A and B are shown apart, each in its own frame.
Chain A
């Protein structure tokens, strides 16, 4: 039986449909990601599963319990980290853990959590004085205070610097290794790719694709992209005629999509085949700053919605 089973969840705010019929299920021990831009409905979906918002239509169960009728029972068994976490004013780190621990029937020892989340040195610090990364570690620690089976993390790394982000990724990986089921939202494709066993791509309140990151990429963003600067310009038509090339775009940087990157690269860089590298007026083309990259979830999102995630 899945740990989470959502069927046709709908949430409207007046005329605005925040979530327009979302269905998915999450298996035990899985890290499940919801990837999408701001306002896609990720947070609302999560809050319906956490028993914080009542769905207008559809049903969902978490750990076998109905999210509307058995919300309190669910809240005791899940861990929640809300977006933009805040604590009561002037709460110290240790007090926060003690306080939240006291709100649950069972809780983990405060010292253990401080140690696990590398907050021992900050135990007496006011939460408001923590760095972004430390605050995020604290709010994930608070989500785990009741030793839950399922943990919901809403944008756990948004607004963090790259180093703090890597640190949080390690933390989440550690949570997974303890056998917890994790549901997280993100608009960072790298995060989804790296952490999640499966990813639901969410846009305008619906899931537009749901699979493992690798399957999503091979289905929606297959092939390799080779891109480079061509200061003298390039004859896109002649380039497109090259063996193994699927697509050429040349606005600013020249980008070539191919499923045979080795062959294309060899032809592109062959010193004997200079005719390939001629721009419209016959001048020799200079290739600068050449990069080769695999398809990413970003490409998947663009392919599925026609828009970039980073808007």
Chain B
């Protein structure tokens, strides 16, 4: 009865969009096509640094070029390398310290390769971590750590959970915020108010419709990711479902809240972009959070997308169980409850 008011053409485009997303990302980073080139500046010149470079270069799809700093930065500007890694003096000595060693990373500025940079960072961090842990003890074992997920995951494996989080963010906010504000502006909500429907039925149907749209988009995205691009998922789908459902609740709640805050459908449109856009860049989907200044990292850790992305990565890439993502789920649930409460309280029918 209530679902009777979904519209089919828009649905087609909506699902097509999710599919398109997967295809584009799949083609960009899918399977063996993925490659990342590191420009390595070795200021240490120690055996350890040499081995580290070797370990990095040994990963499938990774190319390393050892060069001078000036040359490396030049290559970075010209897009000849994706990331510049600087190994500082004393790197080899620091490996034995409890604090471990550090390398400095410079990603490219070009936005189209930012996703590559994000993966590149992830790979680098994992190699360095594994290297440090082993190197601190014996400094002999240089093979990439076998247990680390990063050795097995391809870019598409990494991006599938990120894209799931992204779709939940975009669609959850947009379909509810813009859809509801639009129906309100065109007095459709008011027209339904003139029937015996209860207010909760009218709003509930619209919000449920928005949530359903997100679910369908996710289905398309996941099926395309798994079948077309052979993304591998290491965790349980059942566990992954928990943060997904809570995430949908949180972002649909945010969408509902934006409808309550906006007066017109135009301002709802603007608001949802204003809210979704920064979150998209600040929550570890396209950029790793660790590259942000520390004060911003604190802010970012309040945002629900950070938690959702984190939970999806850890379940789908690292294969952790529900207990390991309990905090993420709790934060998402809190977002859902709080946004729905405020939105219900502040909602205006016209």
Answer yes or no: are A and B bound together in one complex. Answer: yes
B-binding residues in A (CB < 8 A): 50-52, 72, 75-76, 80, 82, 84-91, 95, 98-100, 102-105
If A75-B196, A103-B197, A105-B196 touch, whether A86 touches B191 (CB-CB below 8 Å) is yes
Residue B4 is within 8 A (CB to CB) of chain A in the complex? yes
* B296 contacts A by Cβ under 8 Å: no
Q: Which residues of B contact A90 (CB under 8 A)?
A: 7-10
B interface with A by C-beta (< 8 Å): 1, 4-5, 7-10, 182-183, 186-188, 190-198
Does the CB pair B191–A103 fall under 8 Å?
Answer: no
**A82: which of B1, B4, B194, B197 is its contact (CB, 8 Å)?**
B194
Residues on B with C-beta less than 8 A from A87 are 188, 191
Q: Return the 3 tightest CB-CB contacts between A and B, nearest first.
A: A90-B7, A86-B186, A80-B194
Q: How far is the CA of A105 from the CA of B195 in the complex (A)?
A: 10
Whether the Cβ atoms of B193 and A104 lie closer than 8 Å is no
The answer to whether A50 and B194 have CB atoms under 8 Å apart is yes
The reply to whether B188 and A88 contact each other, CB–CB distance below 8 Å, is yes
- Among residues of A, the one whose C-beta sits closest to the C-beta of B201 is A103
Within the assembled complex, what's the spacing in Å between the Cα atoms of A51 and B187?
A: 16
Task: Indicate the member of A52, A75, A88, A95 with the most B CB atoms within 10 Å.
Answer: A88
Instruction: Name 24 A/B residue pairs within 8 A (Cβ), A-sorted.
Output: A50-B194, A75-B194, A75-B195, A76-B196, A82-B187, A82-B190, A82-B191, A82-B194, A84-B187, A85-B191, A86-B186, A86-B191, A87-B188, A88-B7, A88-B188, A90-B8, A91-B5, A99-B4, A100-B195, A102-B1, A103-B1, A103-B192, A103-B195, A104-B195
- Please, which residues of chain B bring their CB within 8 A of the CB of A52? 190, 193-194
- The CA of A104 and the CA of B1, in the complex, are separated in Å by 11
Which residues of chain B are within 8 angstroms of A72 by Cβ–Cβ distance? Answer: 196, 198
Q: Which of B10, B191, B193, B196 meets A89, CB within 8 Å? A: B10
Minimum CB distance partner of A84 in chain B: B187
A86 touches which of B5, B9, B187 (Cβ 8 Å): B187
How far is A87 from B189 in the complex, measured between Cα atoms in Å?
Answer: 9
Contact B4 A89 (CB under 8 A): no
A75 to B190, CA, bound (A): 13
Residues of B within 8 A of A50 (CB): 194
Which chain B residues lie closer than 8 Å to A105 at the CB level? Answer: 196
Closest to B206 in A: A88
CA distance A98 to B5 in the complex (A): 11
> CA separation between A87 and B8, bound complex, in Å?
15
Bound CA–CA A82/B187 (angstroms): 9
The CA-CA distance from A103 to B188 in the complex, in Å, is 14
A82: B residues at CB distance < 8 A: 187, 190-191, 194
Question: Which one of B5, B8, B190, B193 contacts A88 once the chains associate, using CB atoms below 8 Å?
Answer: B5
CB distance from A54 to the nearest CB of B (A): 12
Q: Which chain B positions have C-beta within 8 A of A102?
A: 1, 4
Contact A88 B183 (CB under 8 A): yes
* B195: A residues at CB distance < 8 A: 75, 100, 103-104
Alpha-carbon distance A97/B198, docked complex (angstroms): 19
Question: Known pairs A88-B183, A89-B10. 8 more at Cβ < 8 A?
Answer: A51-B194, A82-B191, A88-B5, A90-B9, A90-B10, A91-B5, A103-B195, A104-B196
A22 CB, min distance to chain B CBs, angstroms: 20
Which residue, A75, A86, A95, A99, has most C-beta atoms of chain B within 10 A?
Answer: A86
A84–B191 Cα distance when bound, in Å, is 10
CA distance A86 to B9 in the complex (A): 18
Residue of A nearest to B179 (CB): A89
- Shortest Cβ gap from A122 to chain B (Å): 18
In angstroms, Cα B197 to Cα A76, docked, is 9
* Residues B196 and A103 in contact, CB atoms below 8 Å apart: yes
Q: Given the complex of chains A and B, what is the CA–CA distance between A100 and B5 in angstroms?
A: 10
A135 nearest CB across to chain B (Å): 13
Interface pair A85/B187, CB less than 8 Å apart: yes
Nearest-neighbor residue (CB-CB) of A99 within chain B: B4
Interface centre among B10, B190, B198 (most CB of A within 10 A): B190
